[in-house]
A and B are shown apart, each in its own frame.
Chain A
Amino acid sequence: MSQSLAWNRKDLIDVEHLSRDEIETIFTAATAFKRAMEADDKKQPYLEGRTVVNLFLEPSTRTRLAFEVAASRLSADTITVTGGASSLTKGETLRDTARNMEALKADMIIMRHSASGAPNYLSKVVDIPVINGGDGSHAHPTQALLDSFTLLEKFGSLEGKRITILGDILFSRVARSNIWCLQKLGAEVTIAGPSTLVPKEFEALGVHVCHDLQEALEDADAVMLLRIQHERQTATHFPSIGEYTSTFGLNKQRAKWLKLGAIIMHPGPINRGVEIDSELADSEQSVVLQQVTNGIVVRMAVLHLCYCAHNGKSIELP
């Protein structure tokens, strides 16, 4: 099948600069891949003979695996390079590492990096597509896209839907990307959590900022929980994990504040008993595992679209 789809980007760096048409193009492709996957037609030929490098310079399990699976389902060869195993630990610059991968004839680079803006930098250094697998506190575009894809499966449309993102917004690349993605698709976004992690300056991005959990959850169609990221916060941002849980942790009782039929999302990894009760994380309200599955097809879509755009190929879908 050949379709006229809106996509001419070599790279996927963030959601902020994507148009709604581009987001919907990704979803069209993801839907096609998901349909094929459910029909047990898992393997697609679109990146056959191509090499995809997973350059993961910051720890990751599910994103890295999801990209590896996505690339493999597109028939690409994948190479994974992690921070500790790269020459960056010997002082090699990111430019040199990336240029070497290009010289090794890699066709795409997926990068996770602890520094915000690193994929922007990389995309200017190399001529092959760069897909952002999460950079610092800046962006995690494929996570936001799979989150919205999951919400669309549930609701059909996000127009007027009220979505609350709860937790550590300040240090969260997932929150930032979701704020852009959800709003572009017509949702109303509330961000909630302690004032030290949810500064009111976020209002400039068009969201409602809230520090009262009940207010944040009431009438929400979905709540996205974020992991409390001990590794990014200084000790000064909240008094203790216990204090956080008692004030902002989601439990069964508090979940009743949500709109009937509302869903609970989490990008993982979950700190069970911290931002969410274990029982609730595994409940029918939770779509955490659907998010993981959708992560494969959304990433297949992104890899396929960027590869086609960069190589001047028409977009074929199963």
Chain B
Amino acid sequence: MNEILWITGGRIIDPANKRDETGDLYSVDGVLVEQLDDTQKKAATKIDANGLVVAPGLVDIHVHFRDPGQTHKEDIASGSRSAAAGGFTTVVCMPNTSPVCDNAGTIQRIMDKVARESIINIYPTGCLTIGMDGEQLAPTGQLKKAGVVAVTDDGKCVQSNEIMRRAVEYAKMLDLPIMDHCQDASLTQGAVMNEGEWSLRLGLRGWPKAAEDIIVARNVILAELTGAHIHMQHVSSANSVDILRRAIARGISVSGEASPHHIEFTDADLKDYNTVYKMNPPLRTDADKEALIEGLCDGTLACIATDHAPHSPDEKDREFDTAPFGIIGLENSLASSLGTLYHSGRLSLSEVIALMTHKGAELCKLDAGTLSAGADADICLFDPDEEWTVDPKQFFSKSRNCPWEGQTLKGKVKSTFVAGTQVYDGTSISA
């Protein structure tokens, strides 16, 4: 391979290197370089990025690609294309597939399929416990050898404090990040939405914030006890943000992520029983939303992650109680996050990009999310001001469960490169 890429005249924003300047970006054979010589410049494919932001390829450490087992909702190929269209070049897949990723064989199967079918970098995670039943530790060492970058029972939460403590200790020994879906199941039996005024109005079973807060607090205590780092997935409540903020101030090694939907929507959006707003954890109140945004602004929450959770239209088209939890978000994550955080004046462009690139990558120890010379030329070009209207029917994802449907968002991905190869050109997948 001798491919040379020359992206000219864009606003290069590389938060990991504190770089924000108009200039040129180069890559040779899929790797970023500081300069091209005259011969290379003559041979280069030149991309005019005038008026565009040139950012590292986006990184999402929390997606569900349903492969293996539920490929009618999404699979490695469609998920990777959906990600590419959203500007993502690296994603981390959750292990609640069918079968779940609690053994090296399933991980190997995923890795093989990724190698064959993915157009971006996809990393699997492994389960914390066998069958995600929360009772017996999964073979974490074997999972790591097979290629997982973190362990989690996402979709479920280990209820036993003893099992969680041992899982955390064991994963720390292996230097594997631990991520947790924080949910005390005893408080959420039959619950389908946030407990509060709207659940009372709608007569839907309420899901108290305490169900999350208790586990976040538990995990803080276990992180302190074991010295391991625990990452809290899709934080949704103000109290959880507060618990994390205090823990981090005390030097305890914990972190959290926020999803684009939890910082945009609230439980009031469920007023018409639209199942597209049914998600786990549920949408909370305005005060919680504001606390999450504040948490992203002051660094308490380390990154943005979509929790991209595809479901088929038939599964969502039913009574609210019986519809599955989850929404998709990869193809609008950048625009919706820009709207909530940048266009609203809360954060700079560079700060938003940091939340969607190197910060998540660092949590999972991934070599991604920067434009450093020597790094893979994973690049996202976008226009932060271009408006577009969300039409999930046009998405590359197989699923359509997107609550942003019909919204006009600001921020359009114009091009995505993975290792110097263009995989998305702003309209179609080009890989």
A147 at the interface (CB under 8 A from B): no
Q: Are A121 and B196 in contact (CB under 8 A)?
A: no
Cβ B189 vs Cβ A234 within 8 A:
yes
Q: Contacts of B272 on A, CB cut-off 8 Å?
A: 120
Q: A136 contacts the other chain (Cβ, under 8 Å)?
A: yes
User: Could you tell me if A201 and B319 are in contact, using CB atoms closer than 8 angstroms?
Assistant: no
Complex contact B203–A136 (CB within 8 A): yes
Instruction: Report yes or no: A115 in contact with B196, Cβ–Cβ below 8 A.
Output: no
Question: When each residue 309-323 of chain B gets 1 if its CB lies under 8 Å from chain A and 0 otherwise, what string results?
Answer: 000001001111110
B320 touching A204 by the CB < 8 A rule? no
Q: Are A121 and B318 in contact (CB under 8 A)?
A: yes
A136's nearest neighbour on chain B, judged by CB, is B203
- Within 8 Å by CB of A93, from B200, B205, B318, lies B318
Known pairs A116-B273, A120-B273, A234-B189; A201 contacts B322 (CB<8 A)? no
Taking the complex as formed, is B47 at the interface, i.e. its CB lies under 8 A from any CB of chain A? Answer: no
What's the least CB distance linking A1 to chain B, in Å? 37
A201 touches B273 (CB 8 A): no
Tell me if A202 is interfacial: C-beta within 8 Å of chain B.
yes
Q: Is the CB of A137 within 8 A of B319?
A: no
Set A16, A135, A173, A201: member contacting B197, Cβ < 8 A: A201
- A176 proximity list for chain B (CB < 8 A): 200-201, 203
A residues 131-156 with Cβ under 8 Å of B? 135-139
**Chain B contacts with A in 322-349, Cβ cutoff 8 A:** 322
Contact status A205-B322, CB under 8 Å: no
Whether the Cβ atoms of B319 and A115 lie closer than 8 Å is: yes
B221 CB-CB contact with A under 8 Å: no
For residue A234, which residues in chain B have a CB less than 8 angstroms away from its CB?
189
A34 at interface (Cβ–Cβ under 8 A)?
no
When distances are taken between beta carbons in the complex, the residues of chain B under 8 Å from A259 are none
Least CB distance, A142 to chain B, in whole angstroms: 16
**Residue B202, interface by CB 8 Å:** yes
Which residues of chain B come closer than 8 Å to A16, judged between CB atoms? Answer: 201
Q: Is B297 an interface residue (CB 8 A)?
A: no
Which residues on B sit within 8 Å (CB–CB) of A135? 203
Does any Cβ of B come within 8 Å of A118's Cβ?
A: yes
Given known A-B contacts A121-B273, A201-B196, A204-B197, A116 and B202 have beta carbons under 8 A apart: yes
- Cα A173 to Cα B318 in complex, Å, equals 20
Whether B204 contacts A137 by the Cβ 8 Å rule is yes
User: Given A139, A204, A205, which contacts B203 in the complex, CB threshold below 8 Å?
Assistant: A139
Contact string, B128-143, partner A, CB cutoff 8 A, digits 1/0? 0000000000000000
* CB closest chain-A residue, reference B204: A116
Q: How many positions in chain B have a CB within 8 Å of any CB in the partner chain?
A: 18
Q: B residues within 8 A CB of A113?
A: 319
Q: Annotate B195-235 by CB proximity to A: 1 below 8 A, 0 otherwise.
A: 01100111111000000000000000000000000000000
Name the residue on A nearest B196 (C-beta). Answer: A201
Q: Quick one: closest B residue to A140, CB to CB?
A: B203
How many angstroms from the CA of A300 to the CA of B319 in the assembled complex?
A: 27
- Nearest A residue to B186 via CB reads A236
A113 to chain B, nearest CB (A): 7
User: Could you tell me the distance between the alpha carbons of A93 and B315 in the complex, rounded to whole angstroms?
Assistant: 10
- B residues in contact with A136, CB < 8 Å: 203-204, 321
Q: Are A117 and B273 in contact (CB under 8 A)?
A: yes
Q: A138 to B322, alpha carbons, bound, how many Å?
A: 15
Q: A199: CB under 8 A from chain B?
A: yes
Is A205 in contact with B319, judged by CB distance below 8 angstroms?
no
Point out the residues of chain B lying under 8 angstroms from A170, CB to CB.
200
Q: Which residues of B contact A204 (CB under 8 A)?
A: 197, 200
* Contact status A117-B196, CB under 8 Å: no
Q: How far is the CA of A170 from the CA of B272 in the complex (A)?
A: 20
CB distance from A229 to the nearest CB of B (A): 12
B59-93: CB near A (< 8 Å → 1, else 0) gives: 00000000000000000000000000000000000
B200 in contact with A201 (CB, 8 Å): yes
Shortest C-beta distance, A216 to chain B (Å), equals 19
Q: Does A94 contact B (CB under 8 A)?
A: yes
Q: Which of A78-102 contact B (CB under 8 A)?
A: 93-95
**With A121-B273, A204-B200 as contacts: A116 and B321 at CB distance below 8 Å:** yes
Q: How far is the CA of A201 from the CA of B205 in the complex (A)?
A: 14
25 interchain pairs, CB-CB under 8 A? A93-B314, A93-B317, A93-B318, A94-B318, A115-B320, A116-B202, A116-B204, A116-B273, A117-B202, A117-B203, A118-B320, A120-B273, A121-B273, A121-B318, A121-B320, A136-B204, A137-B204, A138-B202, A138-B203, A138-B204, A139-B203, A170-B200, A176-B200, A199-B200, A202-B200
Besides A116-B202, A199-B200, 19 other A-B contacts (C-beta < 8 A): A16-B201, A115-B320, A116-B203, A116-B204, A116-B273, A116-B320, A117-B202, A117-B203, A120-B273, A121-B318, A121-B320, A136-B203, A136-B204, A136-B321, A176-B203, A201-B196, A202-B200, A204-B197, A205-B201
Nearest 6 A/B pairs, CB to CB: A138-B203, A117-B273, A137-B203, A115-B319, A116-B203, A115-B321
